[in-house]
Structure 1
Protein backbone atom coordinates (compact mmCIF):
# COMPACT_ATOMS: atom_id res chain seq x y z
CA UNK A 1 0.00 0.00 0.00
CA UNK A 2 1.40 3.37 -1.02
CA UNK A 3 0.16 5.70 1.74
CA UNK A 4 0.67 9.25 0.46
CA UNK A 5 1.50 12.33 2.52
CA UNK A 6 -1.83 14.01 1.65
CA UNK A 7 -0.03 17.10 0.39
CA UNK A 8 -0.12 18.28 -3.23
CA UNK A 9 1.18 17.48 -5.74
CA UNK A 10 -0.65 14.15 -5.47
CA UNK A 11 0.94 11.04 -6.95
CA UNK A 12 -2.43 9.57 -7.99
CA UNK A 13 -5.68 11.03 -9.39
CA UNK A 14 -7.42 12.47 -6.36
CA UNK A 15 -10.73 14.07 -5.48
CA UNK A 16 -9.46 14.83 -1.97
CA UNK A 17 -5.76 15.35 -1.25
CA UNK A 18 -4.26 12.82 -1.71
CA UNK A 19 -5.40 9.34 -2.79
CA UNK A 20 -3.47 6.18 -1.87
CA UNK A 21 -2.64 3.22 -4.10
CA UNK A 22 -3.20 -0.41 -3.13
CA UNK A 23 -1.19 -2.94 -5.14
CA UNK A 24 -1.66 -6.71 -5.19
CA UNK A 25 1.01 -9.32 -5.97
CA UNK A 26 1.13 -10.52 -9.59
CA UNK A 27 1.19 -14.19 -8.65
CA UNK A 28 0.46 -16.43 -5.72
CA UNK A 29 2.07 -19.82 -5.09
CA UNK A 30 -0.43 -22.69 -5.10
CA UNK A 31 -0.87 -24.29 -1.67
CA UNK A 32 -1.52 -28.00 -1.17
CA UNK A 33 -3.48 -29.24 1.83
CA UNK A 34 -5.07 -32.44 3.09
CA UNK A 35 -8.72 -32.64 4.10
CA UNK A 36 -10.30 -35.88 5.32
CA UNK A 37 -7.50 -37.97 3.82
CA UNK A 38 -7.66 -36.33 0.37
CA UNK A 39 -5.11 -33.91 -1.08
CA UNK A 40 -6.26 -30.62 -2.60
CA UNK A 41 -4.55 -27.59 -4.12
CA UNK A 42 -5.69 -24.00 -3.54
CA UNK A 43 -4.79 -21.66 -6.38
CA UNK A 44 -5.48 -17.95 -5.89
CA UNK A 45 -6.45 -16.43 -9.24
CA UNK A 46 -6.52 -12.73 -8.39
CA UNK A 47 -8.58 -9.73 -7.35
CA UNK A 48 -11.51 -8.50 -9.43
CA UNK A 49 -15.25 -8.14 -9.87
CA UNK A 50 -15.98 -11.50 -11.57
CA UNK A 51 -14.40 -14.96 -11.34
CA UNK A 52 -13.55 -14.89 -15.06
CA UNK A 53 -11.50 -11.68 -14.77
CA UNK A 54 -10.07 -9.45 -15.75
CA UNK A 55 -8.17 -9.38 -12.49
CA UNK A 56 -6.77 -6.12 -11.16
CA UNK A 57 -3.26 -5.61 -9.86
CA UNK A 58 -4.02 -2.33 -8.08
CA UNK A 59 -6.58 0.38 -7.42
CA UNK A 60 -6.68 3.96 -6.17
CA UNK A 61 -8.35 4.66 -2.82
CA UNK A 62 -9.48 8.22 -2.19
CA UNK A 63 -8.50 9.63 1.19
CA UNK A 64 -11.23 8.90 3.72
CA UNK A 65 -13.03 6.69 1.18
CA UNK A 66 -13.81 3.01 1.00
CA UNK A 67 -12.94 0.46 -1.66
CA UNK A 68 -13.68 -3.20 -2.06
CA UNK A 69 -12.80 -6.00 -4.42
CA UNK A 70 -13.08 -9.78 -4.33
CA UNK A 71 -10.35 -12.38 -4.20
CA UNK A 72 -10.99 -15.40 -6.46
CA UNK A 73 -9.42 -18.82 -6.26
CA UNK A 74 -10.09 -22.43 -7.06
CA UNK A 75 -9.63 -25.67 -5.18
CA UNK A 76 -8.81 -28.81 -7.13
CA UNK A 77 -8.58 -32.38 -5.91
CA UNK A 78 -5.17 -33.88 -6.55
CA UNK A 79 -5.06 -37.26 -8.25
CA UNK A 80 -3.89 -39.98 -5.92
CA UNK A 81 -1.13 -42.35 -6.86
CA UNK A 82 -2.32 -45.78 -5.82
CA UNK A 83 0.53 -47.94 -4.57
CA UNK A 84 -0.40 -51.52 -3.73
CA UNK A 85 0.29 -52.56 -0.14
CA UNK A 86 3.05 -55.16 0.40
CA UNK A 87 0.48 -57.71 1.66
CA UNK A 88 -1.50 -57.34 -1.60
CA UNK A 89 1.65 -57.87 -3.68
CA UNK A 90 2.60 -60.97 -1.64
CA UNK A 91 -0.91 -62.39 -2.00
CA UNK A 92 -0.90 -61.87 -5.77
CA UNK A 93 2.54 -63.50 -6.00
CA UNK A 94 1.38 -66.57 -4.07
CA UNK A 95 -1.76 -66.79 -6.21
CA UNK A 96 0.42 -66.72 -9.34
CA UNK A 97 2.65 -69.52 -8.00
CA UNK A 98 -0.46 -71.58 -7.20
CA UNK A 99 -1.80 -71.28 -10.75
CA UNK A 100 1.60 -72.12 -12.29
CA UNK A 101 1.94 -75.20 -10.04
CA UNK A 102 -1.63 -76.27 -10.83
CA UNK A 103 -1.03 -75.93 -14.56
CA UNK A 104 2.10 -78.10 -14.36
CA UNK A 105 0.22 -80.74 -12.31
CA UNK A 106 -2.52 -81.00 -14.96
CA UNK A 107 0.00 -81.41 -17.79
CA UNK A 108 1.98 -84.13 -16.00
Structure 2
Protein backbone atom coordinates (compact mmCIF):
# COMPACT_ATOMS: atom_id res chain seq x y z
CA UNK A 1 0.00 0.00 0.00
CA UNK A 2 1.39 3.34 -1.00
CA UNK A 3 0.95 6.52 1.05
CA UNK A 4 -1.24 7.86 -1.76
CA UNK A 5 -3.64 4.94 -1.36
CA UNK A 6 -3.90 5.57 2.39
CA UNK A 7 -4.66 9.22 1.67
CA UNK A 8 -7.25 8.15 -0.92
CA UNK A 9 -9.02 5.97 1.61
CA UNK A 10 -8.96 8.69 4.27
CA UNK A 11 -10.32 11.31 1.86
CA UNK A 12 -13.04 8.93 0.69
CA UNK A 13 -14.09 8.19 4.25
CA UNK A 14 -14.15 11.91 5.05
CA UNK A 15 -16.20 12.63 1.94
CA UNK A 16 -18.76 9.97 2.85
CA UNK A 17 -19.06 11.26 6.41
CA UNK A 18 -19.41 14.86 5.29
CA UNK A 19 -21.97 13.92 2.63
CA UNK A 20 -24.03 12.09 5.25
CA UNK A 21 -23.78 15.11 7.55
CA UNK A 22 -24.86 17.35 4.68
CA UNK A 23 -27.90 15.21 3.99
CA UNK A 24 -28.81 15.28 7.66
CA UNK A 25 -28.34 19.03 7.88
CA UNK A 26 -30.57 19.42 4.84
CA UNK A 27 -33.47 18.02 6.87
CA UNK A 28 -33.03 20.46 9.77
CA UNK A 29 -34.99 23.74 10.14
CA UNK A 30 -32.00 25.59 8.63
CA UNK A 31 -31.21 23.61 5.46
CA UNK A 32 -28.64 26.14 4.26
CA UNK A 33 -26.25 24.63 6.83
CA UNK A 34 -25.77 21.64 4.50
CA UNK A 35 -23.92 23.72 1.88
CA UNK A 36 -20.48 23.84 3.60
CA UNK A 37 -20.64 20.15 4.43
CA UNK A 38 -21.56 19.10 0.89
CA UNK A 39 -18.93 21.41 -0.60
CA UNK A 40 -16.29 19.90 1.68
CA UNK A 41 -17.44 16.41 0.65
CA UNK A 42 -16.97 17.35 -3.01
CA UNK A 43 -13.49 18.71 -2.36
CA UNK A 44 -12.48 15.57 -0.47
CA UNK A 45 -13.89 13.42 -3.26
CA UNK A 46 -11.78 15.31 -5.79
CA UNK A 47 -8.70 14.93 -3.57
CA UNK A 48 -9.36 11.20 -3.33
CA UNK A 49 -9.48 10.86 -7.12
CA UNK A 50 -6.20 12.77 -7.49
CA UNK A 51 -4.47 10.64 -4.87
CA UNK A 52 -5.72 7.49 -6.58
CA UNK A 53 -4.15 8.69 -9.83
CA UNK A 54 -0.87 9.28 -8.00
CA UNK A 55 -1.10 5.77 -6.53
CA UNK A 56 -1.46 4.32 -10.02
CA UNK A 57 1.53 6.33 -11.26
CA UNK A 58 3.66 5.03 -8.39
CA UNK A 59 2.70 1.44 -9.19
CA UNK A 60 3.56 1.88 -12.87
CA UNK A 61 6.92 3.45 -12.03
CA UNK A 62 7.76 0.60 -9.63
CA UNK A 63 6.82 -2.01 -12.21
CA UNK A 64 8.91 -0.26 -14.87
CA UNK A 65 11.90 -0.11 -12.50
CA UNK A 66 11.46 -3.78 -11.57
CA UNK A 67 11.34 -4.82 -15.21
CA UNK A 68 14.41 -2.73 -16.01
CA UNK A 69 16.34 -4.29 -13.11
CA UNK A 70 15.46 -7.80 -14.29
CA UNK A 71 16.30 -6.99 -17.91
CA UNK A 72 12.74 -7.60 -19.10
CA UNK A 73 10.88 -5.73 -21.80
CA UNK A 74 9.34 -2.49 -20.51
CA UNK A 75 5.59 -2.29 -20.34
CA UNK A 76 4.27 -0.66 -23.48
CA UNK A 77 1.13 1.37 -23.57
CA UNK A 78 0.62 1.61 -19.82
CA UNK A 79 -1.43 4.75 -19.19
CA UNK A 80 -0.06 7.07 -16.54
CA UNK A 81 -3.35 8.86 -15.94
CA UNK A 82 -6.94 9.09 -17.10
CA UNK A 83 -6.03 11.55 -19.85
CA UNK A 84 -3.70 8.97 -21.36
CA UNK A 85 -6.47 6.37 -21.25
CA UNK A 86 -8.80 8.58 -23.28
CA UNK A 87 -6.30 10.17 -25.67
CA UNK A 88 -6.05 7.18 -28.05
CA UNK A 89 -2.46 6.52 -27.04
CA UNK A 90 -1.12 9.99 -27.71
CA UNK A 91 1.58 11.15 -25.32
CA UNK A 92 0.42 14.24 -23.48
CA UNK A 93 3.31 15.24 -21.27
CA UNK A 94 7.00 14.71 -20.55
CA UNK A 95 6.18 12.39 -17.64
CA UNK A 96 3.83 10.20 -19.66
CA UNK A 97 4.61 6.49 -19.50
CA UNK A 98 3.38 5.66 -22.98
CA UNK A 99 6.88 5.42 -24.41
CA UNK A 100 6.17 3.12 -27.32
CA UNK A 101 3.20 5.09 -28.62
CA UNK A 102 5.09 8.35 -28.19
CA UNK A 103 7.86 7.17 -30.49
CA UNK A 104 5.38 5.66 -32.98
CA UNK A 105 3.19 8.75 -33.06
CA UNK A 106 5.83 10.88 -34.77
What TM-score results when the alignment is normalised by the length of structure 2? 0.30
Q: Considering only CA atoms, is the larger Rg found in Structure 1 or Structure 2?
A: 1
Question: 1 or 2, which has the higher helix percentage?
Answer: 2
What TM-score results when the alignment is normalised by the length of structure 1? 0.30
Question: 1 or 2, which has the higher strand percentage?
Answer: 1
